[in-house]
Amino acid sequence: MDIDWGALAGVFGVSLGVTVVVVVMFSLGLAAWARTGHGAPAPDVPRGRHRKAAMVTAVLCFAACLAVAAYGIDLIVPG
């Protein structure tokens, strides 16, 4: 049995990269969600357009994380 170390390193690198991207996107989504005023109210919560932009950013970040997770499940589950 022979192991293709180059392919193994490639899979490891892509997996590590995707993991870092998903964690960063989720963290950015949480930060944007906090700026919208959801959860505990904060005195420095912006109003108006900034609030809407933060909501759109949060939704896009969470949607990207969901898309990556769904694609991973699609790759794993046959059919």
- 20-34 mean pLDDT: 95
| Tens-digit pLDDT profile for residues 30-72 | 999 988 876 555 566 556 788 889 999 999 999 999 999 999 9
Whether the full predicted model's pTM is greater than 0.85, yes or no, is no
CA-closest candidate to residue 38, choices 57, 20, 21:
57
